[in-house]
Amino acid sequence: MNKFLRTLLPADIAKGLSVTGKHFSQVFFTANRRKVPFHIVSEYPEVPAKVQPRFRGRLTMLKDEQGVIKCICCLACEKICPTQVITIEKGKQEGRKMPYPVRYDFEMERCIFCEFCVESCGFDAIILNHQFELAAYNREDFSLGTVGLDQNMFEPSHVGKFSVADD
């Protein structure tokens, strides 16, 4: 019985509540969270999240200064990919000595964002950009490429365009 009564000590309850009160008052008197640096959480969809410079986001192809695709179809990225999400079709383009990728397909639904492809590329033709909001409604939206309607290997894709931060 004595033991049970000790569990109801008001001193313990007050101690616990004082911690809660301290944190509550900190938040309560600084209501606008955007301006307060010591808050640990941020209002994410309204305030865009910052990522580190090395962040591994979605695979993107690069073009050089003349707007020509840098990729020369060495197939290194296709071979190194642990989940085989890259498919390249080699071809020729008029006025270009190097092979030209007729198709460069990227199946994002299976991509694991390991950056092995970028590491293997000797021509700096691909990078992983900083896009991380990659949800979409349809499975087809994850099949990216260089030809056809899904020509979005060069800029941030329509996948993720439903983010609140863009509105």
Partner 1 sequence: MFKNEEMEINLGPQHPSTHGVLRVKLRLDGETVTHCRPMIGYLHRGVEKICENQSFFQGQVWTDRMDYCSAVANNLGWAEANEKLFGITVPRRAQYIRTLLNEFNRIASHLIWLGTHAMDIGALTVFLYAFREREDVLDINEAFCGSRLTTTAFRIGGLREDLPPGFEKMVRKFLAKFSDCLEEYENLLTENRIWKKRTIGVARLSAEDAIALGVTGPMLRAAGVAYDIRKAFPYAAYAEMDFEIPTRPEADTYARYQVRMAEMRQSARIIQQCMDGMPEGPVMAKLPKILRSEVNEVYHATESPKGEIGYYLVGEKGSLNPYRFHVRAPGFINLQSLPKMAEGGLIADVVAAIGSLDIVLGEIDR
22 binds partner 1 (CB under 8 A): no
Q: Check if the beta carbon of residue 126 is closer than 8 Å to that of residue 117.
A: yes
Question: Can you tell me the distance from the alpha carbon of 23 to that of 56, in angstroms, rounded to the nearest whole number?
Answer: 35
The least CB distance from residue 17 to partner 1, in Å, is 12
Query: Interface with partner 1 by CB under 8 A: which range of 65-73, 100-108, 112-120, 148-156?
Result: 112-120
User: What is the footprint of partner 1 within residues 124-143 (CB under 8 A)?
Assistant: 128
78 binds partner 1 (CB under 8 A): no
115 binds partner 1 (CB under 8 A): yes
> Which tokens go with 147?
């030809």
Q: What are φ and ψ of residue 128, in 5° steps?
A: -100, 120
Query: Interface with partner 1 by CB under 8 A: which range of 25-33, 45-53, 64-72, 146-154?
Result: 45-53
CB atoms within 10 A of CB 57: 18
53 binds partner 1 (CB under 8 A): yes
> Which tokens go with 24?
């509550």
Q: Check if the beta carbon of residue 100 is closer than 8 Å to that of residue 92.
A: yes
What is the binding site for partner 1 (CB under 8 A)? 6-7, 12, 40, 51-56, 80, 82, 112-116, 119, 128
